[in-house]
Structure 1
Amino acid sequence: MSLLLKNGKVINVETGEVEESSILIQQDQIVNVGNLDEEADDVIDLDGKYVIPGLIDMHCHIKERFAHLFTAAGVTTVRNTAGNVMELRDMIEAPNNAQTPRIYSADRLIDGPPGLWGPTSPYSFNASEPDEARLEVQRQANAGAQFIKVYGWLSPEIMKVVVDESHKHGLEVSCDLIHSSKVNALQAAQMGVKWFEHNSGVIQAIYPGWFPSTDQDFLIDWEQPDLEKLQEVCQQLLKHDVYMCPTTVVFDQANHASSHWNSDERFSDDSLRNIWDQMSQYKDELKDQLGIQTEYLKAITKTYYDLGGTIVAGTDTPGGVWTYPGMALHRELELLVESGLTPFQALQCATTTAARSINKDEIGVVSTGKIADLLVLNSNPLDDIRYTKDIDTIIKGGAVYNQEKLLNYKLDEDLSDQKLDAFIQEFEQSLSC
């Protein structure tokens, strides 16, 4: 099957140029872009609408029951930063034109005891000894993890073991140091950690001894970041070529829990809304531990970007409160612009830069030979980044998707429960082998 998108305005996310072009797609690939006089099985006249690559959410925690909502928002690829690759296997192995986003995934996070998220489970592993940390990395590598995620309660000694073992398997390491009192960003970078989720560990590097839940907040001017110290830390991080994923949206939502940004409620489900409603009852705690950091995160983003560092766009969906699947990434792009990036630079963080950072050269741009993940917009997002939400057409792997139909899709709950039970049983059996 072939599809011709004619009379569009293609945004080159590598140069910022906008060119009037048509796009020829065969199966799941773009085979030609330009002033085309081609025939195709299906033709869509874009009538001057704008075309960008499908968006990439570089930090989320995806589940099958709401996976289609990412695609409905034009997010065609996600980086799953902790979960369980066995549970996600069907979606990971799905064809390019599936209605769920393609997934680049870590396995369960590796933390230190007693574990911020509780005891060892299918979704987290608490390591206190070097050998068990090595074995867990080996297990995850064999299970198909594409990178390793470490958490803030891990000791420096065990974190270094995890990093070294991961590198033996050709896997990069991602860290969440929000709650870490033991390791800061500079120390983690020196160990060989590549990815810094939530821009975390930087504040601890500037203010040694601080971490959420301490009573030292009076030492930090959260509204006026210390730019001189921040510049010094970011320059040191740049020497290690680390990648930063701010996920500003999860902090901003916590900072405004009683008057937060809202999306179309259809980009959620009853389960997510119930969780968010429960969490929003603790709005003061959310603001004190997460929301208060928002302006500092923006300053980290702008400082590191201006130095030439890599910034990618992620959301932590469905973490925190009201991080709507898919739509939270559009809000994150707005917050990147608020941080000081231009709309073009922000768009790169969710397209070409994101794809390149995970070595997925087949996505992230609109050009010949790439996978046909496309988002057709009614207005130019280079004029206003909020226009990424003004979606006309979604194309994933060459398949045209209707946003309304995706939003109305409901997963069979009984089937979902059966699959969860089967996964738990299979996972437990795999550990005994």
Structure 2
Amino acid sequence: MSLPNLTYLYFIMTFLFCFSSCKNTTKSKIFVDKQYNENQIINLSDSLKPYIKYNKDLLAFTNATIVDGTGKALKQNQTLIIKNGIFKEMGNDADIKIPHNATTINLKGKTIIPGIVGMHNHLHIPRFPDVGDVAAKLYLASGVTTIQTCGAASPYNELELSKRIKDAKQVGPEIIPSAPFITGQGGNPNMIIPRDTEHLKDTMKHWLDQGVKWFKVYRNTNPDDLKTIIEVAHNNQAKVRGHLCSITFEEATKLGIDAIEHGLNSTSDFRTNKDYGQCNGGREYMDDLIIDSPEVKRLQQLMIDNKVFLTSTVSIYEASIPNRAFADKRTIKAMSPFLQDQYKERRASFDKQMNDSIRNNRLKRIMQFEYQYYKMGGLLCAGVDAGRHVLPGFGDQRNYELLIEAGFKTEEAIQIMTGNGAKALERQDVGTIQVGKRADFVILNGNLEKDATLIKNVETVFKKGIGYNPESILETIEEQFGKE
């Protein structure tokens, strides 16, 4: 389409928007999102204004260190040009010509990473089925620009929040919503427990009709139901993930599951005296299993061959270890008085059992399992699975530090948290910093390669080329997370 025609179409759509909203006294900014439709107009509501730091059509960042999310080595002294929310050019400072009308930002001493793609990022926590509004702010302020919720406790609210953020009426990451959890007899009564196959299929159809493309099965799901869930999902271009127990990793993989959560901690393949289709048996394997043994590698290779991705959630496991379960100041500041009191009670109990070597060793083994899976060629992603004092966004950042502790290099850990998540979601537009992709990225104040804790030093978060100030976002949620 020619430029004059585009200008004419823009004028007509702007006129229609203004006409339809003439009764609304709140004015909105308008910008073009070229990632999905060059002619699509999105209304950037006034509610977002207090959080916006940069909203320019053309931006140039110079002297940056870039970790691009592909797993390749980081690059220094880079220039990155953003135009209309898209990465347009990237290369050595000396090789890139900056457009004369670009707003130029010098990032000497700072690191750019892609926006984090959280792959186990709920909008609920235990006791609170909907913390979506505050969680969305925490996610974005922490550099998480896309989330897959991996099971919904308040599915309709989740869908509505996803739409509001997509329409730029509320601040937060892009939300890829889930259906409610599906479990089996003896499982959590707040989840879907199918009465029979017809009930299961009808329930799934309902959520498919709502536009949901992700289903999560939980610990007590029986193998026959899982087979049906996978068949219905795959016949409707949807996917299935599992926090497993009654079904082993091997059984789920052979049935065609797309993803498995929590790694070694939810592996029932090695339980002693486990009954088929039952969430039972001994967990001695958590302490005795040799991670690089042929039986473990055989299981992992089976998963890899069947393209099952594994989601790491190490930060929430760490929260159960007495000598490691400490909340930082910003976390306590964001938690409601109720959650603060809960944390104080846990800490008082933990302080009496600081020498819990069993859970420390189990964390190391969980890390080894995931490291081995990645090195064998498996698709490893990460997500926060918020709870206890592990908050949305903050827990994602902690995951990065723990991945480094597990032995991953900087570029590998970033790939797990960004590019791999996008790959699992089959998204070509996000997850890595590459020309032509959507400008979702994070500016960190410092050299991330030298200090993993700098993942928390978020200076600016860009989503669709718009830069958000994390401090402005966090100021609005003091003592709001988990408020009764």
TM-score above 0.5, yes or no = yes
* 1:380 aligned to which of 425, 447, 462: 447
Structure 1 residues 354-405: Cα deviation after superposition (integer angstroms, max 9, x where no partner): 1111011111112222211111122232334332222222222222211211
Query: Could you say which residue in structure 2 is the equivalent of 1:422?
Result: none
Provide the rounded CA distance (Å) in 2 between the counterparts of 1:215 and 1:112. 17
Query: Could you say which residue in structure 1 is the equivalent of 2:108?
Result: 47
Provide the rounded CA distance (Å) in 1 between the counterparts of 2:319 and 2:206. 36
TM-score normalized by structure 2?
0.75
Letter in 1 for 2:260: F
Provide the rounded CA distance (Å) in 1 between the counterparts of 2:342 and 2:195. 31
Query: Could you say which residue in structure 2 is the equivalent of 1:402?
Result: 469
Structure 1 residues 61-111: Cα deviation after superposition (integer angstroms, max 9, x where no partner): 121222101111111111101114421234322248652011112111111
Shift in Å, 1:13? 2.6
Letter in 2 for 1:348: Q
Query: Could you say which residue in structure 2 is the equivalent of 1:199?
Result: 263
Deviates more, 1:363-372 or 1:84-93: 84-93
Structure 1 residues 297-321: Cα deviation after superposition (integer angstroms, max 9, x where no partner): 212202211211110011101x3x2
Deviates more, 1:14-23 or 1:147-156: 14-23
TM-score normalized by structure 1?
0.83
Deviates more, 1:153-162 or 1:248-257: 248-257
Deviates more, 1:53-62 or 1:187-196: 53-62
In 2 relative to 1, CA 161–294 (structure 1 residues): closer, same or farther, beyond 3 Å? same
In 2 relative to 1, CA 354–96 (structure 1 residues): closer, same or farther, beyond 3 Å? farther
Letter in 1 for 2:68: N
* 1:9 aligned to which of 45, 53, 65: 65
Q: Is the aligned partner of 1:112 residue 2:178?
A: no
In 2 relative to 1, CA 222–262 (structure 1 residues): closer, same or farther, beyond 3 Å? farther
* 2:145 aligned to which of 56, 68, 76: 76
Query: Could you say which residue in structure 2 is the equivalent of 1:323?
Result: 390
Shift in Å, 1:166? 0.9
Q: Is the 8 A contact 2:214 2:239 kept in 1?
A: yes
- SS of the residue corresponding to residue 77 of structure 1 reads strand
Provide the rounded CA distance (Å) in 1 between the counterparts of 2:384 and 2:118. 7
- SS of the residue corresponding to residue 186 of structure 1 reads helix
Provide the rounded CA distance (Å) in 2 between the counterparts of 1:85 and 1:159. 21
Q: Map 1:219-238 onto structure 2 (within 5 A).
A: 219-220=284-285, 222=287, 225-228=290-293, 229-238=295-304
Q: Is the 8 A contact 1:185 1:200 kept in 2?
A: no
In 2 relative to 1, CA 51–325 (structure 1 residues): closer, same or farther, beyond 3 Å? same
Structure 1 residues 267-298: Cα deviation after superposition (integer angstroms, max 9, x where no partner): 733165456567778868xx899877423321
Q: Is the 8 A contact 1:24 1:30 kept in 2?
A: yes
Root-mean-square deviation over aligned CA pairs: 3.1
Provide the rounded CA distance (Å) in 2 between the counterparts of 1:154 and 1:290. 27
Letter in 1 for 2:69: V
Q: Is the 8 A contact 2:184 2:222 kept in 1?
A: yes
Shift in Å, 1:133? 1.1
Letter in 2 for 1:60: N
Letter in 1 for 2:453: R
* 1:184 aligned to which of 248, 273, 288: 248
Letter in 2 for 1:12: D
- SS of the residue corresponding to residue 391 of structure 2 reads coil
In 2 relative to 1, CA 172–376 (structure 1 residues): closer, same or farther, beyond 3 Å? same
Shift in Å, 1:242? 0.7
Deviates more, 1:55-64 or 1:92-101: 92-101
Q: Is the 8 A contact 1:206 1:233 kept in 2?
A: no
Pick the structure with greater CA Rg: 2
* 1:37 aligned to which of 98, 101, 104: 98
Q: Is the aligned partner of 1:171 residue 2:274?
A: no
Q: Is the aligned partner of 1:67 residue 2:122?
A: no
Letter in 2 for 1:222: D
Deviates more, 1:390-399 or 1:350-359: 390-399
Letter in 2 for 1:230: V
Query: Could you say which residue in structure 2 is the equivalent of 1:427?
Result: none
In 2 relative to 1, CA 37–28 (structure 1 residues): closer, same or farther, beyond 3 Å? closer
* 1:250 aligned to which of 316, 329, 352: 316
Percent identical:
20
Q: Is the 8 A contact 1:85 1:145 kept in 2?
A: no
In 2 relative to 1, CA 33–386 (structure 1 residues): closer, same or farther, beyond 3 Å? same
Q: Is the 8 A contact 1:343 1:383 kept in 2?
A: no
Query: Could you say which residue in structure 1 is the equivalent of 2:373?
Result: 304
Provide the rounded CA distance (Å) in 1 between the counterparts of 2:208 and 2:430. 24
- SS of the residue corresponding to residue 25 of structure 1 reads strand
In 2 relative to 1, CA 138–310 (structure 1 residues): closer, same or farther, beyond 3 Å? same
Query: Could you say which residue in structure 2 is the equivalent of 1:314?
Result: 383
In 2 relative to 1, CA 279–89 (structure 1 residues): closer, same or farther, beyond 3 Å? farther
In 2 relative to 1, CA 48–339 (structure 1 residues): closer, same or farther, beyond 3 Å? closer
Gaps of at least 5 residues in structure 2 are 1-55, 124-131
Letter in 2 for 1:231: K
- SS of the residue corresponding to residue 157 of structure 2 reads coil
Provide the rounded CA distance (Å) in 2 between the counterparts of 1:292 and 1:252. 11
Structure 1 residues 219-239: Cα deviation after superposition (integer angstroms, max 9, x where no partner): 436276443132222122222
Q: Is the aligned partner of 1:356 residue 2:423?
A: yes
Shift in Å, 1:170? 1.0
Q: Is the aligned partner of 1:28 residue 2:107?
A: no
Q: Is the 8 A contact 2:57 2:85 kept in 1?
A: no
Letter in 1 for 2:110: K
